Structure 1
Amino acid sequence: MADSLHRLDDGEARTARDLVAGLGLRDERPAGARPRVVADMIASADGRASVQGRSVALGHPADRALLRELRTGVDAILVGTGTMKAERYANLLDADQRAGRAAAGLPEHPTVVTVSRALELPVEVGLFSEPGRSILVYTESCAAAPEVGADVEVVRLAPGTLALPALLADLGARGVRGVLCEGGPTLLRELVVQGLLDDLLLTVAPWLIAGDAPTILEGAAELPEAGRLGLRDVHRAGDHLFLHYVPQRD
């Protein structure tokens, strides 16, 4: 199958759906715990996260299947407005994935969560025109919410108080257990710096890109503390490698 992933240590084939089911993204969390945060990223062999501004050119059918199954398995998708615009967000799930969520008693679509201090949103992308899509925006702006086809809820915070720990705490209070971060590199860096990332699923694409495309973490300065990772699992599909890392914390 096009979306089959083969485990490197024993060659066992799994579908993207099987792999995501094994992650348990919506398992019960301890009382008061923030949601589990899983990031899904792709990079070329020389570390570039996009080609001509988009990551799709690096992908493989199994990579695309994995992303959509991850979306199916979480309560919320956390994504920066720049990534929404660059990747032209729309139609995030297939019909069978929506049906599977509904059969499990979940909303057909996970909530899409984004951060914009000035409430500047890429309303031209398809996601904002899709009726019934739930979009949650955290901002420090007093500007009016955009009038779009999707259901947009704006959470307004005082200037200087918008931070990811507070955002995740609010999501937890709303019943969110699992969050999928889809980038971009600035947002992912902030999750790493603040110790909020629980899993990194990194696809390594068999391409050499060079140029000035971003890496999966943005920022000229090194991290305050090196982000040590532990390798949990490795799969392959064709020449693409799928790596599951977990942060190593003291």
Structure 2
Amino acid sequence: MTDLPRVVTATGITDDELAELYEYPDVPGPWLRANFVVSLDGAITTNGSSTGLTNPLDQRTFKLLRDLADVVLVGAATIRIEDYIGVRTSDEGLQRRADRGLATLPPLAVVSGRADIDPESRLLTNTIVPPIILTTTTAPTTAKRNLTAAGAQVIELGPDRIETAAMIDALTSLGLRKILCEGGPTLTGQLAADHALDELCVTTAPSVVCGNAQRITHTDRHSTVGMRCNHIIFDADGAQLARWVRSS
């Protein structure tokens, strides 16, 4: 008999209760989780950004998932579009991380085959923990040198493209096993197609977004990954937050 998902009403839910719902499993190897907000018809952006889809509970969960992670993995395009800064958290978040034996804050790990990231962007100038740049040996030497000078940890992974296994191995070699991917769709599509995505957390906004916005995964490779739902949280405004875990 298939286990049914846990159904939760968001009214009055505390951050501790949210943390219990989203705890990483106790496994020896890495665990890769992705987190997205989508419209009812599958759009991940409105007018080029996810801001128009999110709500207060989604934002709380977004921050909480960072509190539970060793590292936040993001593609370079998403860093630029969303104008990322380094991860911050509250005093409660700091305590939550300390209770779990995690570092004070998770670094951002940015995937960029060409290392085409502005060393003067907020990613590097507005951060507490220096970012990790995952790039290639053939990326421009000057770009890598400039990022290193700006404080980033630059890691070269292969000559032409950044393979999923190399990406995960590089992070786990740094002791970063609890990996939270925040997109974008090309990176998440690569992880899913390579069957490296262990979990997908999805907030479904109660709206339909017309147009040609991308979906959660974007790849030219066909691949099917079976998932099972651990829980669904129903918010008062109609949003639904679901945690999907890869089937055995």
TM range (shorter): 0.7 to 0.9
On the 8 A contact 1:43/1:204 being kept in 2, the answer is: yes
Query: Which residue of 1 is the match for residue 79 of structure 2?
Result: 84
Distance 1:78-1:61 versus aligned 2 partners, 3 A rule: same
Give the aligned partner of residue 152 of structure 1: 152
Question: What is the aligned-residue RMSD (CA, Å)?
Answer: 2.5
**Aligned twin of 2:61:** 66
In structure 2, the residue matched to 1:43 is 38
Aligned-partner Cα distance in 2 for 1:8–1:29? 25
Q: 1:1-250 alignment to 2 at 5 Å?
A: 8=7, 14-25=13-24, 28-30=26-28, 33=29, 35-90=30-85, 92-97=87-92, 99-100=94-95, 103-104=98-99, 106-140=102-136, 141-143=139-141, 144-146=144-146, 151-160=151-160, 162-219=162-219, 221=220, 223-238=221-236, 239-249=238-248
1:3 maps to what in 2? none
Q: What amino acid maps onto 1:160 in structure 2?
A: D
The Cα offsets for residues 56-94 of structure 1, whole Å up to 9 and x where unpaired, read as 110010100101011011110000111111111125323
For 2:68 and 2:150, the matched residues in 1 are separated by 21
| Maintained 8 Å contact 1:200/1:245 | yes
When residues 152 and 21 of structure 1 are mapped into structure 2, their CA distance, relative to the original with a 3 A threshold, is farther
On the 8 A contact 1:39/1:201 being kept in 2, the answer is yes
Say which SS state the counterpart of residue 202 (structure 2) adopts: strand
Measured at CA, do residues 149 and 157 of structure 1 come closer, stay the same or move farther in structure 2, by a change above 3 Å? closer
In the alignment, is the contact (CA less than 8 A) between 1:89 and 1:126 conserved in 2? yes
| TM-aligned CA distance change 1:149 to 1:40, over 3 Å | farther
Structure 1 residues not aligned, in runs of 5+ = 1-6
Distance 1:149 1:242, change over 3 A: farther
State the 1:23 CA deviation.
3.3
1:74-118 CA-to-partner distances (Å, cap 9, x unmatched) read: 110000111111111125323325532674454332011111111
> Is the contact between residue 42 and residue 202 of structure 1 (CA under 8 Å) also seen in structure 2?
yes
Structure 2 gap segments, 5+ residues each: 1-5
Shift of 1:16: 4.1
TM-score, structure 2 as length reference: 0.85
- What is the one-letter code of the residue matched to 1:133? V
Q: State how far apart, in whole Å, the 1-side matches of 2:226 and 2:240 are.
A: 20
Percent identical pairs in the alignment equals 26
* SS of residue matched to 1:92: coil
